[in-house]
Structures are given as structure tokens and as C-alpha cells.
């Protein structure tokens, strides 16, 4: 895959230090192998021109076009007072549109000689607007003469590759560098076992690299892409298959519930019957818990589909079998809420060792960072002695001081909020590796990617329990139609008049210093991007003085003291406040069935999955829910399309696909969405599910037959390159 020994030659030895420095700093390319795996983004055909009509503003573009007209103007300026200033204006066309190029001062001489009408060239620069017309100022360009030794050599083949480039390094310079290193593609070691490659009719790797960079036909490109996608999918799947294989060798204590124990007693006191989905998923989990190697299961379910109930039954099964279960929540508010709802659901079964506790009862303790010293000492003692069968907490559970008597199951709520290291630290607290159940309400891109890549066994809860209400969602275009926003506040008042409550969510708290770096966003979509995001403290004050005057408005945000946060949540839950103006601290797990309306301000500043999570806070009771997505983005913008997608479906799986298509999957192996260069250059998780599924089967076969890959040295080399040390650790921690 990435680096194979013959291709580990540093680029500076081959291309010279200056070019190599730019490639390393701006494109993350360091070796010959890196450059060979820097694939073209698209291809231009010699006879067909780019669409100038579709140029994006403020972006660095490469276009192929023909000079229609070139004029040299002289003008007077402070630098050239006697009318000696020169400006060259060149108009280029591609049939779909026209674009102005401008050159000034000494920079006019070369293009004035070279860019004559009728000349074809590639132009690269940043698109800007001048006098309401699109232009490129001082673009770099490369003439496409089509004859002459060098031009023919450089542009051999009828397709011109356009590479992901930067302002410092144009696409054709990358193309020229690739011409230099392309002969070494012959030395690329092929990671695919020969039988697999031939069985699936895939090109050998050297040929695929040659065809991706110097294709003669579109078929060349398709064949090369098919092969390179298989490389990425297969090597990655082998990494995951080896990890699954290693996990299956680990010992774990099998945990089987007693037929008449705690779980049975809990089920007997449930006031409702479990949904078909909950029963099916519980059965899958109980089967895993009864085996002697650790369960690694992902439980995906819509907001409100009853995941907590499934997780609680799994925890009680483990307590029944003599172990302890820990639930890790991402925030104190959520840990406290889980603790409250679990103890309420269990009743006297949660009062182990106390007067009035049931015979099979256990103790359920809460452990968070802000607890008082005495309460904390008690909780730690209950965990160490085994008195407490169930513990619910935040990352405070991970601290060194926390000792378990016999940790059998770790449940992680909202998986994407926890780093792998944190999960790993908790798993390390068991005498043997505990079973692991990971829950998420919205499959976020990396989770979806990992699911498609099949690293965790997956259970899905896709039906809502009886009694959950539908949620209507609408986009409120505040800039285009201000009266819509007025109507939104009227709707909130109407809900409160009916005895219900509402949330108003803002992206910012409002007491932070304005960071000039953060407020100047790059997008030129709209002036709306120029102002800082709306803040809880400002919005709460404006609403209380204006459209929601007379209602009881409270605020909640992450920088409040834990006790204050809890007090606000309790008041809101008890119906003592009408409107809660909050940041995304309410995103997960906050459960107030009487809250029916949510207004999300600056909704375009939130991700798709986050909006879906937030929306899940309303419609939790018998009354229908309403979610209003307020934005100042213009109709045609990508942000508005994203909001329309959220408004059009309540299906979290569908939304996560949309999210993935828009954002790509981050680095599937690296820290989720940290902006690092993805190990996937060719593979798109959503579009290539078939390739991934087939590669998973092939990888499982290969690893089952030869776990150490002793007979496949080239595959081992490719794995070592893919899994540099950091990723190797990451995979092992899972």
C-alpha cells in the first residue's frame, strides 16, 4: 500500500530540496511512494474544456481554456505617475463561459508575448470578483502547444490529470514531478495475494499506478481505480480481521444471568413490554456475554429507541453472574440523568444492602469529578468491595484511584465523545478484559465507516417504543424571510400556552473572548458567516426582553458549576421553567417528555448528526414535537441543502450517510475527524460498500488461514506501512 521499501526514497533526493519541502509541508508527501499514491482528482480531455461557468469563488482552481482576446492598457498610478503603469487583460473561454485574467507591472511582459488569441493553456489561480466579473489575478499558466519535444513528452496521453494542488504548487508541477518518479512504480511490491488478484481480474500494482497517472483512455482510469480501491479496502480489512482474530484469542469471563435472579426480577417489574427490536438485540448481547472471549458490540439506535433499557438489562445480567458493570457517560449532566433514570427503573432492586432493598438487589453508584470527598470515598469503597454492582460515571471512572472488585462489562454511551485511550483505560481495570458495549444514537461518519469496515459487531434498534411522537422539522430562513422567525417565537409561546416547554439552542456561550482568528471564517457563502455565532447569554436576554417576554427563561451551558447545571435541569424537568436557552450540553440524554419545541439558532453552524441528536430532545412524550432550524444562509448554499436534508428525514442512518458524503470519513484509522490526511485516497466509504464487504470476506479467509501472514511478505510490508506505530496502537485499543 503506502510505503514499500523500494519507494521509501525521500523526495528531496529525486526532486530537489525546494520542491520536496513544499510537497512535505503543503501536501504531506515525503517519499516516492507518497507521491505515487497522490492520485489525480479528475482528468481533462484535450478536446473538451472545463466549465468556466461553474467556478467556485475564493478557491484555487485549474482550468483548461483558450485565449479569446488580450489587451494591454496603460494607466497612471502613484508608482507610475506619467501613465507608464501597465495592465494586461486576457479573456479566456471554454464555450461554457468567459473568464478575465489580469497581469500588472513587470508581470505583463511574458504573458503578453505568449497568450495570443487562439492559444490553449492550463491556468491556475484563485477566483475573485472585480467589477462584478469573475477573474484570476496573476494566474500561473502552462501552454498546451501539442507539438515540440517536451510538450508531447509531458502531456503524452489524451487525458490531462488534474491533481489536488495548492497555491504553492500547481497541478501541472505535481504532474511533472510524477513524470520523474513514475518509472520507479515498477518496483512497487504488490500487497494483494496473486490468487485474489487474478480471481478478481485486477491489474498488477505497477500497471495500476502507471495508468492512474498517465491514462490513455477512460477505461485505463477505471481499471486503475478499481485496483487501487481494492488495495486500500483489502489491506485495511486485513488489519481489522487480524484484530478480530486476536480479540477472539483473549480470555474473558462468560457471564450468564441466573434464571430467577436480578434480571428476571427487573423484567417482572417493567410496566411495559419490550419492543421486538429490544428483545432481538438483547438476545445478541446475551449470547456474546456467555462466551469466553470479550464482546465488542456497537449498539446503534435512533434517539429514544430504548438503547438505555437494552444496556441496563445487559448490566443486570452481568451483576447476576457475579460481576460489575460500568456505564461511561460523556458529561456530568448525562451521568446524573442516567443514574436517576436507572435507580427509578430499578426501584428497590437498586437498594442493595439498604433497609427495604429487595433480596436480589444491588447497589447503583454515581461517580463524577465534582462529587464531595465523603460521597466519593463511599462510592470508591462500594466499587472496590463489590458492594456496588452498577456504577455510572464520567471519565472520573478512569482515574487510577478507581478499583473494581470484578469488572465484567463496560458500556460506553455516545461513543464519539470518548477517545480510544479513555475507553482503553477503563477496560484495563478488569482482572480479565471486560466485555464492551458501545452505544450511539446517531451513527457519525467514523462510526459508520468503522461499521462498514466491520471492526465491531453491530446491533441496530430501528423501531421506536410505543408512545413516542413524531417530530416536524422546518428550516427558518431568517435573512430571506424575517417574518418566519417572528412566527417561530409565536409557535414557542403557543406550545408554552398549552402547558409545554421549549429549548432554544445556540452555538456559543457568550462570555468568551472573541477570537479574531475564529470569527473570520473562510467561506464566502454569505455575510452571515462574517459575524460570530449567536450566543446563549445574548439570545436569552433578547428573548426575555422581547418575543418571549413574560415566560420563565433559564440558561444552561458547559461553563456553569456542575451543581448549578444540575439545579437548572431539575427545575426544567419539574416544569418550573418554560424555555431553556442552552448550548449543545443538552445534545445527549437529556429527557424532559414535556418539552415539545426546539429552536436551533445558526443551525448551519452544527453538523448533520449533531442537529439530529439535538432534535431528539423533543417529542419524547405523547405530544408531537417541533424543531425549527434557523439560518441566515442563502437558498443556494451547501449549508441550506444540509439543513433541508435534516428537515426532510428523521432517519439517523440516512442522515449519517448524507453527512459522510459531504464530509468524507476522516481518517478511518487515525483519530476520528481530526483533519489528518485520510489513509483512504481512492476509497469512498459510502460509494464503495460492495468493495469493502468483498474485501472483508477475502481478508477474513486470508487471516484465518495464516494469522501471522508468514506466507504473504508483501502484504505484511503494506500493513506495516499502513499501520505506523500510532495507528497500530489505535487499532489495538479499539
Tens digits of residue pLDDT in 158-174: 678 888 877 778 787 88
Helix, strand, coil shares of the chain as percentages rounded to 5?
Answer: 45, 20, 40
Rounded Cα distance between 601 and 605, Å, is: 9
Strand stretches in 255-352, DSSP E = 296-301, 324-328
Residue (of 453, 375, 456, 377) closest to 423 by Cα position: 456
pLDDT at 417: 55
Task: With CA atoms as reference, report the closest residue to 426 among 249, 294, 547, 529.
Answer: 294
Which helix H or strand E contains 540, and what residues bound it?
A: helix 536-545
pLDDT on residue 2: 46
Question: Distance between CA atoms of 388 and 267, rounded to whole angstroms?
Answer: 20
Axis-axis angle for helices 445-452, 652-663 (nearest 10):
100
Cβ-based neighbours of 59, under 8 Å, separated by 6 or more: 126, 127
Nearest to 50 by CA among 95, 102, 117: 95
Q: Which three cell numbers stand for residue 444?
A: 457519525
**What gap in Å lies between CA 701 and CA 169, rounded to an integer?**
43
Phi then psi for residue 542, to 5 deg, are: -60, -40
Whole-model pTM above 0.95?
no
Q: Per residue in 597-631, pLDDT tens?
A: 999 999 998 888 788 888 888 888 788 999 999 99
Residues 270 and 229: beta-carbon distance below 8 Å:
no
Q: Residue 447 in 3-state DSSP?
A: helix
Q: Are 36 and 186 in contact (CB under 8 A)?
A: no
Helices (H), 414-535: 420-427, 445-452, 482-497, 516-519
Residue 93: Cβ within 10 Å count: 15
Whole-angstrom distance, CA of residue 69 vs CA of residue 90 = 6
CA distances from 588 to 340, 609, 657 (A): 15, 11, 20
Pair 566, 333: CB distance under 8 Å: yes
What pLDDT was estimated at residue 662? Answer: 65
Q: What per-residue confidence (pLDDT) applies to 224?
A: 95
Residues facing 504 on adjacent strands:
581, 599
Alpha helices in 96-168 (DSSP H): 109-114, 149-154
- Quote the pLDDT of residue 450: 56
Q: Looking at residue 77, what is its pLDDT? A: 66
Which segments in the chain show pLDDT lower than 50? 1-4, 47, 49, 148-157, 514-529, 666-677, 725-726, 732, 734
Confidence (pLDDT) at 106: 80
Surface-to-core class of residue 453, CB atoms within 10 Å of its CB (0-12 exposed, 13-18 middle, 19+ buried): buried
pLDDT at position 353: 67
- pLDDT the model gives residue 3: 44
Amino acid at each position: 500500500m503506502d510505503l514499500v521499501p523500494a519507494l521509501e526514497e525521500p523526495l528531496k533526493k529525486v526532486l530537489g530540496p525546494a520542491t520536496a519541502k513544499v510537497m512535505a509541508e503543503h501536501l504531506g508527501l515525503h517519499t516516492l511512494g507518497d507521491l505515487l499514491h497522490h492520485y489525480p482528482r479528475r482528468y481533462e480531455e484535450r478536446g473538451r474544456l472545463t466549465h468556466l461557468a461553474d467556478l467556485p469563488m475564493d478557491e484555487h482552481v485549474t482550468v483548461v481554456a483558450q485565449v479569446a482576446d488580450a489587451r494591454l492598457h496603460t494607466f497612471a498610478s502613484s508608482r507610475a505617475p506619467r501613465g507608464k503603469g501597465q495592465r494586461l487583460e486576457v479573456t479566456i473561454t471554454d464555450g461554457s463561459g468567459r473568464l478575465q485574467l489580469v497581469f500588472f507591472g513587470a508581470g505583463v511582459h511574458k504573458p503578453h508575448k505568449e497568450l495570443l488569441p487562439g492559444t490553449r493553456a492550463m491556468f491556475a489561480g484563485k477566483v475573485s470578483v472585480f467589477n462584478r466579473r469573475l477573474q484570476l489575478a496573476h494566474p500561473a499558466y502552462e501552454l498546451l502547444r501539442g507539438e515540440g519535444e517536451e510538450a508531447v513528452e509531458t502531456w503524452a496521453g489524451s487525458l490531462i490529470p488534474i491533481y489536488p494542488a495548492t497555491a504553492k504548487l500547481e497541478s501541472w508541477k505535481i504532474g511533472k514531478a510524477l513524470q520523474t518518479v513514475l518509472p520507479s512504480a515498477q518496483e512497487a511490491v504488490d500487497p494483494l495475494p496473486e490468487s485474489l488478484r487474478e480471481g478478481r481480474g485486477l491489474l498488477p500494482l505497477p500497471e495500476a499506478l502507471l495508468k492512474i497517472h498517465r491514462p490513455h483512455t477512460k477505461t485505463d482510469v477505471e481499471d486503475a481505480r478499481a485496483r487501487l480501491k481494492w488495495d486500500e479496502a483489502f489491506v485495511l480489512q486485513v488489519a481489522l480481521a487480524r484484530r478480530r482474530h486476536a480479540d477472539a484469542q483473549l480470555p474473558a469471563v462468560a457471564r450468564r444471568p441466573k434464571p430467577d435472579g436480578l434480571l428476571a426480577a427487573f423484567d417482572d417489574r417493567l410496566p411495559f413490554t419490550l419492543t421486538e427490536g429490544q428483545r432481538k438485540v438483547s438476545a445478541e448481547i446475551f449470547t456474546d456475554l456467555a462466551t469466553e472471549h470479550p464482546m465488542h458490540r456497537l449498539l446503534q439506535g435512533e434517539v429514544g429507541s430504548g438503547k438505555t433499557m437494552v444496556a441496563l438489562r445487559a448490566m443486570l445480567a452481568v451483576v447476576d453472574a457475579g460481576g460489575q458493570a460500568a456505564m461511561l457517560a460523556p458529561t456530568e449532566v448525562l451521568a446524573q440523568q442516567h443514574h436517576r433514570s436507572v435507580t427509578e427503573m430499578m426501584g428497590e432492586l437498586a437498594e442493595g444492602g439498604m433497609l427495604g432493598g429487595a433480596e436480589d438487589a444491588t447497589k447503583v453508584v454515581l461517580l463524577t469529578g465534582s462529587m464531595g470527598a465523603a460521597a466519593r470515598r463511599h462510592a470508591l469503597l462500594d466499587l472496590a468491595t463489590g458492594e456496588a454492582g452498577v456504577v455510572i460515571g464520567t471519565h472520573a471512572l478512569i482515574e487510577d484511584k478507581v478499583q473494581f472488585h470484578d469488572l465484567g462489562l463496560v458500556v460506553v454511551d455516545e461513543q464519539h465523545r470518548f477517545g480510544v485511550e479513555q475507553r482503553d483505560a477503563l477496560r484495563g481495570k478488569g482482572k480479565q478484559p471486560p466485555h464492551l458495549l458501545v452505544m450511539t444514537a446517531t451513527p457519525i461518519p467514523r462510526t459508520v465507516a468503522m461499521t462498514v469496515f466491520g471492526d465491531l459487531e453491530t446491533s441496530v434498534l430501528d423501531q421506536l417504543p410505543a408512545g413516542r411522537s413524531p417530530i416536524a422539522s422546518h428550516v427558518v430562513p431568517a435573512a430571506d424571510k424575517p417574518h418566519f422567525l417572528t412566527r417561530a417565537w409565536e409557535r414557542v409561546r403557543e406550545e408554552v400556552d398549552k402547558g409545554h416547554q421549549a429549548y432554544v439552542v445556540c452555538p456559543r456561550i457568550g462570555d468568551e473572548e472573541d477570537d479574531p482568528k475564529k470569527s473570520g471564517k473562510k467561506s464566502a457563502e454569505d455575510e452571515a458567516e462574517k459575524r460570530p455565532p449567536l450566543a446563549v447569554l445574548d439570545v436569552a436576554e433578547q428573548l426575555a426582553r422581547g418575543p418571549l417576554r413574560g415566560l420563565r427563561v433559564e440558561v444552561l451551558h458547559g461553563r456553569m458549576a456542575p451543581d448549578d447545571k444540575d439545579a437548572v435541569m431539575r427545575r426544567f424537568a419539574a416544569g418550573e421553567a418554560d424555555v431553556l436557552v442552552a448550548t449543545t450540553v443538552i445534545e445527549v440524554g437529556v429527557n424532559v417528555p414535556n418539552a415539545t419545541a426546539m429552536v436551533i439558532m445558526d443551525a448551519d453552524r452544527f453538523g448533520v448528526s449533531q442537529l439530529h441528536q439535538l432534535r431528539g430532545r423533543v417529542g419524547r412524550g405523547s405530544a408531537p414535537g417541533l424543531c425549527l432550524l434557523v439560518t441566515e444562509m442563502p437558498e443556494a448554499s451547501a449549508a441550506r441543502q444540509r439543513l433541508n436534508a435534516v428537515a426532510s428525514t428523521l432517519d439517523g442512518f440516512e442522515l449519517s450517510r448524507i453527512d459522510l458524503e459531504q464530509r468524507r470519513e476522516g481518517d478511518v484509522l487515525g483519530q476520528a475527524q481530526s483533519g489528518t490526511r485520510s489513509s483512504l485516497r481512492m476509497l469512498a466509504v459510502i460509494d464503495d460498500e460492495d468493495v469493502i464487504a468483498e474485501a472483508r470476506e477475502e481478508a477474513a479467509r486470508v487471516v484465518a488461514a495464516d494469522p501471522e501472514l508468514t506466507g504473504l511478505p508483501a502484504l505484511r510490508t503494506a500493513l506495516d506501512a499502513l499501520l505506523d506505530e500510532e495507528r497500530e496502537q489505535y487499532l489495538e485499543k479499539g
